[in-house]
Amino acid sequence: MRIGQGFDVHAFDLEGDSVVLGGVEVPHDAGLSGHSDADVLSHAIADALLGAARLGDLGSNFPATDEWRDASSLDILTETMRRVDEAGYQVGNVDATVIAERPRLSSHRDEMIANLARALGVPVDVISVKATTTDGLGFTGRGEGIAAMAVVALENKVRP
């Protein structure tokens, strides 16, 4: 078994009417700035997967080039999982936390989990997505951006 942890953060942009988290477009009064769709949740999970499989980090695997400009982070997550699978691992579980004062995410959680499970090719019951605030402290508390962190457990694939 291997354990990986990931972290990502994106700042709010002045333009936009939603943010993408776990592949779900969540209504909000500002978007997140980023090279792809700025989905901090998917990015944190992808980074944790890459770390657990010892495949580098998100930036080295998906650089800020034209190939990944405006990419869906679920596509990035699917490609990450392909690489993890090729390295001989399967997902045991994913535990992720989104850190933001707003928007509120509880009504979107099930859809996020379903999207993440589909991108990773795993059942929904191996993925946990939580949300928390920082009670007004720090950049997330001031509403300047959103952060996410994730921990994943990878297991060696069972060979027939």
Q: Are 28 and 18 in contact (CB under 8 A)?
A: yes
Q: Are 74 and 23 in contact (CB under 8 A)?
A: yes
pLDDT over threshold 80, residue 139: yes
Section 17-34 average pLDDT? 89
Spatial CA neighbour of 5 closest among 67, 53, 48: 48
Residue 117 Cα distances to 58, 93, 123, 124, angstroms: 19, 10, 6, 5
CATH number at residue 69: 3.30.1330.50
pLDDT digits (tens, 9 = 90+) for 44-54: 999 999 999 99
pLDDT over threshold 80, residue 160: no
Q: Are 40 and 148 in contact (CB under 8 A)?
A: yes
Section 64-81 average pLDDT? 83
Handedness of CA 48, 50, 56, 60 (dihedral sign): negative
**Model pTM greater than 0.85?**
yes
pLDDT over threshold 60, residue 116: yes
For the chain, what is the domain count?
Answer: 1
Q: Which domain holds residue 116?
A: 2-156
